[in-house]
Amino acid sequence: MSKTLDKVDYKIIAILREDATKTNVQLAEEIGVSEGTIRNRLRCLINEEIIRVVATPVDPKKLGFYVDVYMDIDVEITKITEVARQLAELPQLTYVGIVAGRHDILAHGLFHSTDELLEFITNKIAPIPGINKTETSHVLKIVKRAYLWVSSEELEAE
């Protein structure tokens, strides 16, 4: 990362996390800088891929995704990167990470039904060369869902 974030950047991020519909003028007024400063900072934050302003569904069930699962995937050691790449291409998976520990890959997926999940496992996951085993955990209840984390710098900026 070539940009060093300061308090203004962290304030922009914190405010947009709460309400991404705020205009540059509103951000400028709230932070106490010019609208041009906000425009330039936002352009930089987006271009440097520090932030992405998107619409994120809050509750997948409201979109019909009633089956929320995490998959622990064991893979042949020489094929971990390739398997992770292939998994990342599957639209049903919202997260794919190569991990250290008991398993090799952790994936998160959302499905409309258990039948759809079964079809996904048997017809999309199983045929991928290099996968040895999967363990799927079905989330029964979400206690906390946070898409972003808060850094110590952000806490100091608030």
Q: Name the pLDDT band for 154 (thresholds 50, 70, 90).
A: low
Q: Are the CB atoms for 68 and 137 separated by under 8 Å?
A: no
Query: Buried (b) or exposed (e) across 61-96, using 16+ Cβ within 10 A?
Result: eeeebebbbebbbbbeeebbeebbebbeeeebbeeb
pLDDT of 1 > 50? The answer is no
Sign of the dihedral through C-alpha 56, 61, 148, 156: positive
Residue 127 is given by DSSP the state T
Q: Which CATH class is domain 7-55?
A: mainly alpha
Q: CATH 1.10.10.10 spans which residues of the chain?
A: 7-55
Give the architecture (CATH level 2) of 60-138.
2-Layer Sandwich (3.30)
pLDDT, the chain, mean: 90
Percent of the chain whose predicted confidence (pLDDT) is above 70: 91
Q: What is the number of alpha carbons within 13 Å of residue 137 lying toward its C-beta?
A: 9
Predicted TM-score of the model (pTM): 0.75
Cβ neighbors of 43 (< 8 A, separation 6 or more) are: none
- Chain segment 63-98, per-residue pLDDT in tens: 999 999 999 999 999 999 999 999 999 999 999 999
Count of other CB atoms within 10 angstroms of residue 42: 18
Q: CATH 3.30.70.920 spans which residues of the chain?
A: 60-138
pLDDT of 52 > 70? The answer is yes
Q: Name the pLDDT band for 4 (thresholds 50, 70, 90).
A: confident
pLDDT of 130 > 50? The answer is yes
